[in-house]
């Protein structure tokens, strides 16, 4: 009886090659016509990983093919079905990189996150550089400075004494903004959707957050500022000081 979600129903590990050569009938009882993953070892080290719809037949084949003299022990893992076999084999290949496997293996429908990670990593690096060289890297050219808001005091004006940087992570993207000495907020060139958001001035963190999400946000609990090097906390902490 198998459990819901179970993949491997039974297994046989670390069996000497002689067991397959001399005791075919016993191995056949367990593996003939069964699908699953198998592993070949040489001197205790993983040499080859494969999948098969008939494990007994595939192992017998490896007694005579190009791998014949390259392994001395084997393991088999019998699976309940074959729906996830390819991904399972690929997972092992990509983690262990067995010497005998010529192909690395590819996932069938999985998303490679490297491109997203690289983009966010770059955004983060730019943000850190902007903080380090904040006096030398203004967000806008002198003739492109946004016009200050008239008639409405910025809500952050009472909480800051110098220009600071804030950031907001939303749906996997990093948004970066500057809080100017008067408490107004402008988006930085390094953040996500910078071209779209730059040039506008916001008088509260909630308005700046809403510009990102397109629905009302409590910006005090969305934006973070760097209270100390590497320590990013919610803007709401400013109101507790």
Summarised one tens digit per residue, pLDDT across range 216-241 is 989 999 999 988 877 889 999 988 87
Summarised one tens digit per residue, pLDDT across range 123-174 is 777 766 766 665 444 444 434 444 444 556 889 998 888 889 999 999 888 9
pLDDT at 206: 93
Q: Which band of pLDDT confidence, cut at 50, 70 and 90, is reported for residue 3? A: low
Residue 192 lies in domain: 114-240
pLDDT at 151: 52
Q: Is residue 1 part of a domain?
A: no
Residues 92 and 158 reside in one and the same domain: no
Q: Is residue 179 part of a domain?
A: yes
Average pLDDT for 166-183: 91
Q: Is residue 222 part of a domain?
A: yes
Summarised one tens digit per residue, pLDDT across range 56-101 is 888 888 988 999 899 999 988 888 777 777 778 888 888 888 888 8
Give the containing element (helix H, strand E) for 92: helix 85-96
Q: Is residue 147 part of a domain?
A: yes
Q: Is residue 3 part of a domain?
A: no
pLDDT at 134: 54
Q: Is residue 168 part of a domain?
A: yes
Handedness of CA 65, 66, 67, 70 (dihedral sign): positive
CA 188 to chain centre: 25
Residues 54 and 154 reside in one and the same domain: no
* Poorest-pLDDT segment among 12-16, 49-53, 175-179: 49-53
pLDDT at 43: 93
Q: Is residue 59 part of a domain?
A: yes
Say if residue 1's pLDDT is above 90: no
> What distance in Å separates the CA atoms of residue 202 and residue 204, rounded to the nearest whole number?
6
Residues in the chain: 241
pLDDT at 207: 93
What is the pTM (predicted TM-score) of this model?
Answer: 0.47
Place of tokens 């609990």: 221
Assign residue 68 the CATH number of its domain.
Answer: 3.40.1440.10
Residues 48 and 158 reside in one and the same domain: no
Q: Is residue 104 part of a domain?
A: no
Residues 142 and 215 reside in one and the same domain: yes
- Total tally of structural domains belonging to the chain: 2
pLDDT at 127: 66
CA 1 to chain centre: 36
Summarised one tens digit per residue, pLDDT across range 106-131 is 777 777 777 877 877 777 777 667 66
């Amino acid at each position: 009886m198998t459990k819901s979600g179970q993949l491997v129903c039974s297994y046989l590990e670390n069996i000497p090659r002689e067991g397959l050569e001399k005791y075919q009938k016993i191995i056949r009882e367990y593996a003939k016509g069964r699908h699953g993953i198998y592993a070949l070892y040489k001197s205790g080290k993983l040499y080859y990983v494969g999948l098969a719809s008939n494990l007994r037949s595939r192992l017998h084949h490896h007694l005579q093919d190009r791998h014949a003299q390259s392994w001395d022990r084997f393991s088999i893992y019998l699976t309940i079905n074959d729906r996830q076999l390819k991904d399972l084999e690929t997972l092992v290949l990509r983690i262990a990189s067995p010497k005998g496997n010529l192909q690395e293996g590819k996932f069938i429908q999985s998303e490679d996150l490297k491109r997203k990670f690289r983009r966010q990593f770059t955004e983060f690096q730019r943000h850190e550089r902007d903080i380090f060289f904040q006096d030398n890297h203004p967000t806008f050219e002198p003739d492109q400075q946004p016009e200050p808001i008239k008639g409405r005091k910025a809500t952050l004006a009472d909480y800051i004494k110098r220009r600071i940087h804030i950031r907001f992570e939303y749906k996997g993207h990093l948004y970066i903004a500057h809080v100017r000495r008067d408490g107004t907020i402008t988006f930085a060139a390094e953040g996500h959707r910078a071209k779209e958001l730059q040039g506008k001035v916001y008088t509260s963190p909630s308005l700046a957050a809403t510009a990102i999400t397109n629905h009302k946000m409590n910006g005090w609990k969305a934006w973070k500022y760097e209270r100390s090097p590497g320590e990013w906390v919610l803007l709401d902490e400013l109101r507790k000081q």
